[in-house]
Amino acid sequence: MTLTRKIQLLIDLPAAERNAMWEKLYRYQNRCFRAANFIVSHLYVQEMIKDFFYFTEEIQYKLADVKKDEMGLFNRSKTNTTARMVFDRFRGEIPTDILGSLNNTIQSNFSKDRADYWQGSKSLRNFKKDLPIPLPVKCVTKMRYDPEKKAFCFNMFAIPVKTYLGKDFSDKRLIMERLLRKEIKLCTSQVQLKAGKIYWLAVFEFEKEKHLLKPEIIAEASLSLEHPIVAKANNVRINIGSKEEFLYRRLAIQAGQKRIQAGIAFARSGHGAKRKQKALYKTENLESRYVSHRLHLYSRKLIDFCIQQQAGTLILKNQEDKIGIAKEQEFVLRNWSYYDLQTKIKYKAEKAGIELIIG
């Protein structure tokens, strides 16, 4: 299994040298953004070339290397066509390892969406300027823990960086320690530049947890409005969360934000819009953070209950019907997050080795 964690990074250099490193990272981000759009455009043209040029039926072709197939159109492999194109275009401006990783990712995603492109049910992907920079494993060197800085340090694209974990209430520190002990493996990750900060979207590969589970023991769970999760196994029934705890708190956050928005017009002026909207900035993403934390907690309790009961199979009952009802009722759809909770349960069940069946 793979696990992704978002970790903030700080450039570990004197202030005078940081600007050059920031320019380097922003240059990489710009080249990745442009290269991604070039690659996906070329892939689309390759797939649709017959429709674009309206070939006669006598003309036969394959999107393959002519050396391996006499009907091939390319003078190299299909994967290498777009790779070589961006290598030549951005030579010397960005490491080829980054472009190679970007090319492989886009080729993979394009293959998954190819059928939708053919049917016209999906438009071609458009990559934006804030596209994360791929970080191949070979570009991460000198990983270590520095006791003086109290941080994990390493070189990224030959740039010295250190982690900033802050008040780490998650498992990021434990995962980094396991990485140094080589208990888990680091995979190709990404670097995101956002609001003047650097975030490492680190991807780790690890083995599934081993628990004494019995496939014949089945746990049943349902998601409802009264309780986020109601679970039952071995004649034991538990309610995880409550309507008052989750829904009412969420509505309170929404009402608080509306009051702040209404009061902005009467706030003391001076120093522009930022000064007047200062209270609103404090509540930014407050609701989404609260919901994400609660859903993680509920799904974790459900999986812990299954492990405690040694249930190797988990069934989510009547989910399709409930999602259909939620779509018809705007209030439920807006405030209950059925799909988010289901996604988190699926991930945690896979990690624990529990088979999940969605009914």
What pLDDT, on the 0 to 100 scale, is given for residue 321? 59
Report the C-alpha gap between 157 and 25 in whole angstroms.
9
Shared-domain flag, residues 203 and 226: no
CATH number of the CATH domain containing 312: 3.30.420
Mean pLDDT of all residues in 99-116? 90
Shared-domain flag, residues 226 and 136: no
pLDDT at 333 over 50: no
Minimal CA–CA distance to 229: which of 344, 134, 63, 141? 344
Minimal CA–CA distance to 125: which of 151, 92, 102, 143? 102
Shared-domain flag, residues 249 and 305: yes
pLDDT at 275 over 80: no
Mean pLDDT of all residues in 324-337? 55
pLDDT at 304 over 60: yes
Mean pLDDT of all residues in 50-66? 58
Give the best-scoring range by mean pLDDT among 57-61, 297-301, 319-323. Answer: 297-301
Shared-domain flag, residues 196 and 246: no
pLDDT at 67 over 70: no
Residue count (the chain): 359
What pLDDT, on the 0 to 100 scale, is given for residue 141? 92
Q: Which residues pair with 190 in a beta bridge?
A: 134, 201
Mean pLDDT of all residues in 160-174? 85
Mean pLDDT of all residues in 283-299? 85
What pLDDT, on the 0 to 100 scale, is given for residue 46? 79
Do 72 and 65 touch, CB atoms closer than 8 A? yes
**Domains: count for the chain:** 2
Give the best-scoring range by mean pLDDT among 63-72, 126-135, 200-209. Answer: 126-135
Do 4 and 175 touch, CB atoms closer than 8 A? no
Mean pLDDT of all residues in 122-129? 88
- Helices 78-89 and 96-119 pack at an angle, to 10 degrees, of 130
Shared-domain flag, residues 170 and 288: no
Mean pLDDT of all residues in 2-24? 92
Residue 19 CB partners (closer than 8 Å, separation 6+): none
Looking at 207, 231, 253, the residue that finishes a domain is: 207
pLDDT higher for 269 or 326? 269
Report the C-alpha gap between 347 and 359 in whole angstroms.
17
Shared-domain flag, residues 149 and 164: yes
What pLDDT, on the 0 to 100 scale, is given for residue 65? 57
Do 228 and 240 touch, CB atoms closer than 8 A? yes
How far lies 232's CA from each of 187, 229, 350, in Å? 37, 10, 19
- pLDDT-derived band at 66 (thresholds 50, 70, 90) equals low
Side chain identity, residue 314: L
Do 261 and 279 touch, CB atoms closer than 8 A? no
Shared-domain flag, residues 81 and 230: no
Shared-domain flag, residues 184 and 221: no
H-only helix segments in the chain:
15-47, 49-53, 78-89, 96-119, 172-180, 243, 249-263, 272-276, 278-282, 286-308, 319-328, 330-336, 338-352
pLDDT higher for 270 or 7? 7
Report the C-alpha gap between 229 and 294 in whole angstroms.
12
pLDDT at 124 over 50: yes
pLDDT at 5 over 80: yes
Shared-domain flag, residues 36 and 157: yes
Looking at 177, 207, 237, the residue that finishes a domain is: 207
pLDDT at 76 over 70: no
Count of C-beta atoms within a 10 Å radius of residue 305:
20
pLDDT tens digits along 223-266: 776 778 889 998 899 998 887 777 788 888 888 888 888 887 77
DSSP annotation of 244 reads I
- pLDDT-derived band at 68 (thresholds 50, 70, 90) equals low
Minimal CA–CA distance to 40: which of 112, 126, 136, 131? 126
Shared-domain flag, residues 121 and 194: yes
Mean pLDDT of all residues in 1-23? 91
Lowest mean pLDDT among 69-73, 143-147, 216-220, 300-304: 69-73
Shared-domain flag, residues 224 and 199: no
Looking at 189, 207, 225, the residue that finishes a domain is: 207
- Looking only at the bridges linking them, the beta strands covering 72-74 and 62-65 are parallel
- pLDDT-derived band at 185 (thresholds 50, 70, 90) equals very high
Mean pLDDT of all residues in 191-196? 92
pLDDT higher for 76 or 202? 202
pLDDT higher for 4 or 223? 4
- pLDDT-derived band at 204 (thresholds 50, 70, 90) equals very high
Shared-domain flag, residues 257 and 201: no
Q: 73-80 contacts: CB < 8 A, separation 24 or more? A: 73/49, 78/46, 79/103, 79/104, 79/107
Range of the domain at 127: 1-207
What pLDDT, on the 0 to 100 scale, is given for residue 340? 82
